[in-house]
Amino acid sequence: MERISKEQILKMGKKHKKWNEDVIVEIFPYLVNNNRYYLAYYMKKFTMDVKKIALVSPDSPSKDEALTALKPLINFTVVFGNIENFSKTRAELKFDVINEIRDYLEVILSSGLLSGNLMIYYERSFQIITEIIKLQDEMIKIRKKVNSMAQRILGRGYFMDEEIDESLELFSEIGWIQY
């Protein structure tokens, strides 16, 4: 299967656009009978609202195959877009100050200067901050999985049903992590 550049994908989407529309074509295609199908969005020029969507293919103009590709394309595009944006935002959070607070609490707790309720409060604070850091480490691992999946799909040139399932699993994992 011949590789297709981003410019060629966009040109394929622009083929059906009207003069007052912008076009966005998803970079990940879905394969049906060895034919790639891309999801294209036609946006209103000034409001950027989606006016219509289309399926475009460099390989086949088959309407039946395109309809077969529609559901997986929408499922994957929505879910992967959400995990991409959400995991990136959260994985890039800077935790330097939180690490310093944890280290400070650890020093105070190990000093033996606290007693009674103060010891309980500091221990609870230390446990909470430690848990937050642990959750952030999990988010960073999930982000690496997302990047790995994207690279795997780009290397192959299309996504498969397994990636839809994997993205749904990652989506639920991200949703459970709350700081």
Task: Answer whether 170's CB lies under 8 Å from 141's CB.
Answer: no
Report which residue type is found at 111: S
Report which residue type is found at 117: N
Q: Which residues contact 111 (CB under 8 A, 6 or more apart)?
A: none
Q: Which DSSP category does 25 fall into?
A: E
Confidence label for 16 from pLDDT (cuts 50, 70 and 90): low
More confidently predicted of 157 and 108: 108
Kindly report, residue by residue over 33-43, the tens digit of the pLDDT: 888 888 888 87
Residue 41 β-bridge partners:
24, 53
Kindly report, residue by residue over 95-136, the tens digit of the pLDDT: 999 999 999 999 999 998 888 899 999 999 999 999 999 999
Confidence label for 13 from pLDDT (cuts 50, 70 and 90): low
Kindly compute the dihedral angle of the four CA atoms of residues 128, 130, 132, 136, in this order, to the nearest 10 degrees: -170
The alpha carbon dihedral of 150, 154, 155, 157 has a sign of: positive
Confidence label for 167 from pLDDT (cuts 50, 70 and 90): very high
DSSP conformation letters of 41-64: EEEETTT--EEEEEEE-SS---HH
